[in-house]
Amino acid sequence: MSDTGYRFLIADDHPLFRGALRQALEGMFAGVAILEAGTIDELSDLLGREDDVDLVLLDLAMPGVRGFSGLLYLRAQFPAVPVMIVSANEDRVAIRRAMEIGASGFIPKSRGSEVIREAIAKVLEGGTWTPPDIDVTLRDENSKLAERLATLTPQQVRVLMMLSGGLLNKQIAYELNVSEATVKAHVSAILQKLDVDSRTQAVIAAAKIESGQWQALGEVE
């Protein structure tokens, strides 16, 4: 592919792997622009300033985020930017779950540069890519829950993470610099979207997807 206008954002806390991805992209495109982020906060800041990123290459495990909460946040905050997961996690359920939440692709880090280039090209053409032995059409008891989580707004994602961390409404309001009434409104919306009746049930629902691993993200404007 010879397009010279593509802009990529590599989000991974390992400089050596960011360098390997950069090399693969530079070998694939002429004049490609590549941004790098080592934390979820850096990633959010860059996307807030750069409005023409064509693809984010996101590691699932980075400082400031664990599990799928980073992907949920990005899909909610920047829905127009495609996100491809590049992860050491090769679990079949994890790959299917990422696609249900809204990833455009999932590349295991064990795959070589040629496969990475093939996957990126497919996504840039408007398609999706997962390892060929993964059937992303399979559904399980948590598939609908994952899709419901994907409907949360950025602020609702943050409130749910804080609920999962054991924070009270008053504490969440302080962290987000909003009123307790605003937090209560977010909690009510979360319960409705997840089709649950209580905060506890919402936290349990999140844990089913995230294995209980939620951490706070940076401030959302």
Q: What is the CATH number of the domain that holds 174?
A: 1.10.10.10
For the beta carbon of residue 121, count every other beta carbon within 10 angstroms. 14
Its sign, for the CA torsion 155, 158, 160, 162, is negative
Tell me: the pLDDT tens digits for 4-46?
588 999 999 889 889 888 888 888 887 889 999 998 889 989 9
pLDDT at 20: 86
Q: What is the pLDDT of residue 10?
A: 94
For 91-110, the pLDDT digits (tens) are 888 898 899 889 999 998 88
Q: Each residue of 115-163: pLDDT tens digit?
A: 888 999 999 999 999 999 888 888 887 888 888 988 999 899 889 888 8
Q: Residue 68's Cα: distance from chain center in Å?
A: 6
CATH number at residue 29: 3.40.50.2300
How many domains are contained in the chain? 2
Q: Which domain holds residue 118?
A: 7-124
The mean predicted confidence, pLDDT, of the chain is: 85
Q: Is the pLDDT of residue 220 over 60?
A: no
Does the residue 215 lie in any domain? no
Pick the residue with more confidence: 67 or 50? 50
Domain-located, residue 131 = no
Residues 163 and 117 placed together within one structural domain of the fold: no
Half-sphere exposure of 155 (CA within 13 A, CB side): 16
Residue 63: pLDDT over 80: no
